[in-house]
Chain A
Amino acid sequence: MVLALIRAFEGPSAYDRMLAANLFGTKTVLVIALGGYALDWHSYLDVALLYAMVNFVSTIAVMRFFEYSGMTQDDSEDGGPS
């Protein structure tokens, strides 16, 4: 997780930062699930489930934003979001 954070802060492009953020989110889900099981906090498994959903939705939303806002000409050939 620390290595992913280093890449997130040092990443040369926005895509590197977003990839590191997604990896950090996945590892956070794993840490919450493992810690919730190891410490017998049963509600933490629900927290991990919700965190996985929010992580996916945020990554897809930010990637859509980058993909269809940065370029002006070439994106019109793709036929919009498909």
Chain B
Amino acid sequence: MNAVEMLSDFCLLTGGALCITGGVGLLRMPDFFSRVHAAGLTETLAAPLLLAGIMLQMGWSLDLFKVLAILVLVLATNPTATHAMAKAALHGGHLPKLGASATDAEEDASSKV
């Protein structure tokens, strides 16, 4: 039982740290697509870690299956939403910044479009 509690605490702490990291990344990243990356970090790793942390503390009950349903739903839908957002931004005219050759890439892409 003690090992389960330690594992649960580890999951909760790591999930909270990743939540804060995702928020800071969302605020500080220079580009929309890197912000998508920072948001996807929160959605695909922090949410399952936090929900697994409460599932480990919960024991066998109906609530465990409810949290499992939340976990499956979050894991299935949020990467889909992130992908749809990135695709919509790419179709809507956003282009990723590509380091030193960003201006050349933007000029090429704008000439193509």
Q: Mark A24-40, 1 if CB is under 8 A from B, else 0.
A: 00110110011001000
Size of the chain A interface, CB-CB below 8 angstroms:
41
Whether B42 lies near A26 (C-beta < 8 A) is yes
Instruction: Give the distance in Å from the alpha carbon of A76 to the alpha carbon of B41 in the complex.
Output: 33
Q: CB within 8 Å of A: which of B56-80? A: 57-58, 63, 66-67, 69-70, 73-74, 77-78, 80
Instruction: Give the distance in Å from the alpha carbon of A20 to the alpha carbon of B91 in the complex.
Output: 19
Closest to B22 in A: A23
Q: Chain B interface: which size bin?
A: 35 or more
> Given the complex, which residues of A lie within 8 Å of B77, measured CB to CB?
52-53, 55-56
Q: With A3-B27, A33-B67 known to touch, is A56 a contact of B78 (CB < 8 Å)?
A: yes
Q: With A29-B70, A49-B70, A74-B91 known to touch, is A3 a contact of B24 (CB < 8 Å)?
A: yes
Give the A-B pair count, Cβ closer than 8 A. 125
Residues of chain B at the chain A interface (Cβ within 8 Å): 15, 19, 22-24, 26-27, 32, 35-36, 39, 42-43, 46-47, 50-51, 54, 57-58, 63, 66-67, 69-70, 73-74, 77-78, 80-82, 84-85, 87-89, 91-94, 113
A-B contact pairs, 26 of them (CB 8 A): A2-B23, A3-B26, A4-B26, A15-B32, A19-B36, A19-B85, A22-B81, A23-B43, A26-B42, A26-B47, A30-B19, A30-B50, A33-B50, A34-B50, A34-B54, A42-B63, A45-B67, A52-B74, A53-B73, A56-B77, A59-B81, A59-B85, A67-B92, A70-B92, A71-B92, A74-B91
Known: A15-B94, A22-B81, A59-B84. 18 other contacts (CB 8 A): A16-B32, A18-B85, A19-B39, A23-B22, A23-B23, A26-B78, A27-B42, A30-B19, A30-B47, A30-B50, A42-B63, A45-B70, A52-B70, A53-B73, A60-B84, A63-B85, A67-B87, A78-B91
